[in-house]
Structure 1
Amino acid sequence: MSKNHHSGGGAPSQRQLRVGELIRRTLSEALMRGEIHDPDLAGMSITVGEVRTSPDLRIATAYVMPLGGKDTDLAIKALARNSGELRRLVGKAISIKHTPELRFVKDETFDQMDETRRLFSDENVRRDLDSDEDE
C-alpha cells in the first residue's frame, strides 16, 4: 500500500491529520526519551516521519526510519513487539474515544529523496535541465 492511499478514496479529514500528528509527536518523544525498554530499540534513533490514520481513527500507521536507514526491519519488528506499550502512551497523551491500533512500516520517502538526488546529479538530466533553462 502506498503512502498516498487512504481507504475511503478521499483526502484525510482535518481530524485524521490532527490525530495523526499528535500520535507522531507522542511516538517520536517516547522513542527519543527511551521510554520503551527494549534492547533492540535502546541503541537506535528512529524517525517517525508521518502517521496516517484510518477514517474511523481505529488504525494508525506510523512511517518510520532508523537514523542512517540501517536495521529498518529490526526496528519495525521491535516497534511492533512493543506496540501495546506505545499504544498505552499514545492513549495517555491524546484524548479520543478509542486509542488506535498502531502499525509500523518503513518510511519510503527517504529512499525517494535519495533517488531524486541521484537523478538530479546525473549528467544527462542536468544537461536536459540546463537546456530547458536556456529556452
Structure 2
Amino acid sequence: MAKNRFDDQRGPNQRQLRVAELIRRTLSETLMRGDVHDPDLGRMSITIGEVRVTADLSIATVYALPLGGKGGDEAVKALARNKGELRRILGRALKIKHTPDLRFMVDETFDQMDQTHRLLSQEAVQRDLRNTQDSDMDGSEDS
C-alpha cells in the first residue's frame, strides 16, 4: 500500500519554506513599489506577514494586513481582484515550472499577539509568575 505523503504531520519541507519566503518577499516588494495597477492597492500599505505553500506547490495562502490593522477585508478583496497580475509577476520571479494559485487571508497574528499580551498583563498571571520566579530563586524544584 502506498504511503499517503499528504497525511503525515511533519510540517513543511525546505522547498516549501523557500518558495513561500520567495513569494512573500516578491509580493511585499511588488506592493511596496506599486507595480500593480489598482488604485485601491495603491492607497493601502499592505504587509505580507506569512505565506504557506501546499506540499505540491500548487496553492499559496498569503496572509496580509494593511498597516494599522484596519481594513483587512478590503485589502484581501483588492489582492484577490489582482490575483492574475500578481501571479504573472511571481511567475517571472519564482523560476519554477508552475506558479502557485494565490489565496489571500487576513493576517490575525497581530491580534493574537495583543491578546497574549493582555493575558500576560493580568494581575493573577503576574502573581503566578512572581511566585514561580521566587520559588526558582529559592532553589526549590518540584522533581
CA shift at 1:9, angstroms? 3.7
What residue number does 1:116 align with?
116
What residue number does 1:59 align with?
59
> How many aligned positions are there?
130
CA separation in 2, counterparts of 1:19 and 1:7?
21
Greater C-alpha radius of gyration? 2
Instruction: Please give the per-residue CA displacement for 1:55-113, whole angstroms capped at 9, x wherever unaligned.
Output: 11010001111111100000000000001000001001110000000111011211110
CA shift at 1:7, angstroms? 6.5
CA shift at 1:8, angstroms? 5.2
CA separation in 2, counterparts of 1:117 and 1:83?
35
- 1:75 and 2:75 correspond: yes
3-state DSSP of counterpart to 1:79: helix
TM-score if structure 1 supplies the norm length? 0.91
CA separation in 2, counterparts of 1:26 and 1:112?
26
3-state DSSP of counterpart to 1:69: coil
CA separation in 2, counterparts of 1:14 and 1:59?
16
Alpha-carbon RMSD across the aligned residues, in angstroms, is: 1.3
What residue number does 1:125 align with?
125
Using CA pairs under 8 Å that are at least 6 residues apart, name the structure with larger relative contact order, 1 or 2. 1
Aligned-residue sequence identity (percent) comes to 65
Off by >4 Å, runs of 4+ in structure 1: none
What residue number does 1:20 align with?
20
Gaps of 5+ in 1: 1-5
CA separation in 2, counterparts of 1:109 and 1:8?
25
